[in-house]
Structure 1
């Protein structure tokens, strides 16, 4: 379950931002996870929730926006949405898809308090 390692990295990044920007608490953490990122959103949420106690994220809300995967078909040139790298082109049925988006895992924003 690599989501535990990802959660640890996200928590480290947020704690470093808190030290640098002098805030004490995060009331909301918003993430974007692409369908092709290889990350299970619910497992990442669970791992983050388990790691929150005693950190600036304690008691904060975790928002996860799931972004669809996108690809360009090298056979027919169509731009299509995909859920995995194993899908065929929805236009021509070919398997020559080149991913163009949806492989990201990003911290989008934080809502913080200084008090």
Structure 2
């Protein structure tokens, strides 16, 4: 389950931001997970709750935003959000597309507090 290593790296990054900003607590972590990222949101949330027990994030709330697949078609020059796991342009049905969103996992926001 690679979600544990992802959460470890995420919490490390959050702790570094908190340290850099002289924060004593992390109250919220907001991440965006793409449909094609290979990360299972439910497992990631469980791993977060398991590993946050130490450090500044021990009371942090994890908010997960889901990123749909966004394709850019090289044939008809459109950008489309697709509901299914596909790389076919919904406008012209071409396979000549490029994924511009939906594969990533990003730290979007971090709520820090100081005493």
The bucket for the TM-score relative to the shorter chain is 0.7 to 0.9
| Structure 1 runs, 4 residues or longer, greater than 4 Å off | none
Structure-1 separation of matches of 2:7 and 2:84:
22
2:42 corresponds to which residue? 42
Query: For residues 66-81 of structure 1, what are the structure 2 equivalents within 5 Å?
Result: 66-81=66-81
Structure-2 separation of matches of 1:84 and 1:37:
14
| Greater mean alpha carbon deviation, residues 99-108 or residues 49-58 | 99-108
Structure-2 separation of matches of 1:98 and 1:87:
8
Asked if residue 57 in structure 1 is aligned to residue 57 in structure 2, the reply is: yes
May I ask how many residue pairs the two structures share in their alignment? 115
Query: For residues 1-115 of structure 1, what are the structure 2 equivalents within 5 Å?
Result: 1-82=1-82, 86-115=86-115
Runs of 5+ consecutive residues of structure 1 not aligned to the other structure? none
Q: TM-score, normalised by structure 2?
A: 0.83
Q: TM-score, normalised by structure 1?
A: 0.83
Structure-1 separation of matches of 2:82 and 2:2:
23
Q: Is the 8 A contact 2:70 2:82 kept in 1?
A: yes
Structure-2 separation of matches of 1:51 and 1:101:
28
Cα 1:83–1:47 change in 2 (3 A) is farther
Residue aligned with 2:66, SS: strand
Structure-2 separation of matches of 1:51 and 1:22:
22
Residue aligned with 1:15, SS: helix
Structure-1 separation of matches of 2:83 and 2:45:
20
